[in-house]
Amino acid sequence: MIIIAIAIFGIGLTFWYSPKQLISRSTEGLAARCEMVVTEVAQLYPSGTEPHYQVNNPDLLQQVMYRETAKMQGVEGGYWHVANEFFGYAFPTYLGSSIKTDVPQSEMALLSSLSRQAVDESNVLTSVRQSVDSAVITVACPINTHRGLSAWLMKRTSLLPNTLVWLLFAIFGVKAVIGTLILVSNRNFEKNWLTEREKLTEELNDETAPVPTTTAINDVQPFLLLLYQARQKRYNAERAINSLEAKLGQINELSVVGRAALAFAEELRGRIEQLQRDVTAIVTDTSSHQFEKLQREIDAAEYLCQALAQIDVRHKNQGPVTELNMNRWTRSLADFHQQRHANDRQTIAAVCDGELSLVTNPLLLRFTLDILILHSLRFGPQEGEIFIRAAKNDGHMTLELVDENPTVKRSVEQNLFRFDDVRPEQYGDGLRLVKDLVSSLKGSIEFQSNGEISRFILKIPMTS
């Protein structure tokens, strides 16, 4: 674009200073200035009077000529009269060391002839004498206030040789052609570049497709190689992350099994302690009733072992079920944690609305409530009561665990059952496993807090 602009400017400048244009502008300027002389001279005499035959005040006319020629550089002028011939000469912009006061001898014949012709025709006439590098431009115009009087102006102008003008036209024309070719080439390149870019963009947006390593745009080639390497690194990182996630899932499964085994151990400990008491009673009392009671406890311990072997929290399969007496079971659970985990200022109580029975997996239910009770004991108030309540409601067993924790952070409550954590740090953390366990029992869990107490509500089908 710059080359084209320079070429256009050069062509315009060359045309402006070409001999033809320079002569044309100079001629028009002299003619206009001569008309101004005629106008000013006419203002010196009353309008409507007859033209004068003699020039009685040549000095006054010379002052008019002097003022007008002073307005144009290099212009000389004067008057011609049929009787007096030349007078009133002025050349105020003459650059010589002295004042020029005489009409050029070499131009007198031209000036006399042109002035006489202008008077005869009563019209402005021009004359141009042109050489290779200069031109003499002359203008004559009749003055209507006098008969046979004419004003003339003359200017010598330097010209550029025609050969130089045509050479400049050729040079700038070639530049214009070259600039146009470059512009067209750039436009074609940009068009091809945009097309190639859109093609590359479509290919690169498809992350399943391989990164193209060749392109028609050479400047883009290194970036494609870098992108290829970066995408390969990302794929490798994704594979590593997937591998770590798989390992983390296995670790989480082992953690779940380990915590389930802990609940099993706690439950089994109670069974073994009861067996010890029953064996002691049998030693002193050999009645069949004591033997039957011992057999039931042994069967219960065997059942717990089978339940642990078949537990599968991940696939919502709760394993074997049995009937639980909720009144006795919840009280036993509360007593167990009161004796082993609560401090001296924490109280765990349980109540059941009547003699209720629930057919479910006792190990999963025990595991669920163990997590919630231990969570409340650790992160809830270190002084107060934890209350377990069992009630029947619309074909469901509702288990409520209430503690005196006033509230939880809003961000924690929003993610209450979304994440699992084997080492939680605050109230409400790491309870995802509780939700999974309740889901395995085909139930649901929710959390409520009124600013004074917090409540976990479990709803489990009566025959889950």
> Bigger pLDDT: 293 or 145?
145
Residue 140 near residue 37 (C-beta atoms within 8 A): no
Structure tokens at 199: 């093609």
How many helices and strands in the chain, by DSSP H and E? Answer: 11, 12
pLDDT of residue 314: 47
Query: How many CB atoms neighbour CB 141 within 10 A?
Result: 25
The reported pTM is 0.43
Give me the long-range contacts of 336-344 (CB less than 8 A, separation at least 24): 336/266, 336/270, 337/370, 337/373, 337/374, 337/377, 341/373, 341/374, 341/377, 342/377, 342/386, 343/377, 343/382
pLDDT tens digits along 265-317: 666 666 666 666 766 766 666 556 666 666 666 666 665 565 555 555 444 45
Q: How confident is the model at residue 95 (pLDDT cuts 50, 70, 90)?
A: confident
Q: Hey, what's the torsion of the CAs at 175, 176, 179, 185, to 10 degrees?
A: -130
pLDDT tens digits along 391-441: 998 889 999 999 988 877 777 787 888 887 767 888 888 888 888 888 888
What are the backbone dihedrals phi and psi of residue 221, each rounded to the nearest 5 degrees, phi first? -55, -50
What are the backbone dihedrals phi and psi of residue 83, each rounded to the nearest 5 degrees, phi first? -95, -45
Which of 17-26, 49-58, 125-134 is the least confident region?
49-58
> Bigger pLDDT: 113 or 260?
113
Q: For residues 96-104, give the mean pLDDT.
A: 78
Task: Name the residue among 213, 233, 238 with its Cα closest to residue 224.
Answer: 213
pLDDT of residue 258: 64
Three-state secondary structure call for residue 74: coil
**270/273 Cα distance (integer angstroms):** 5
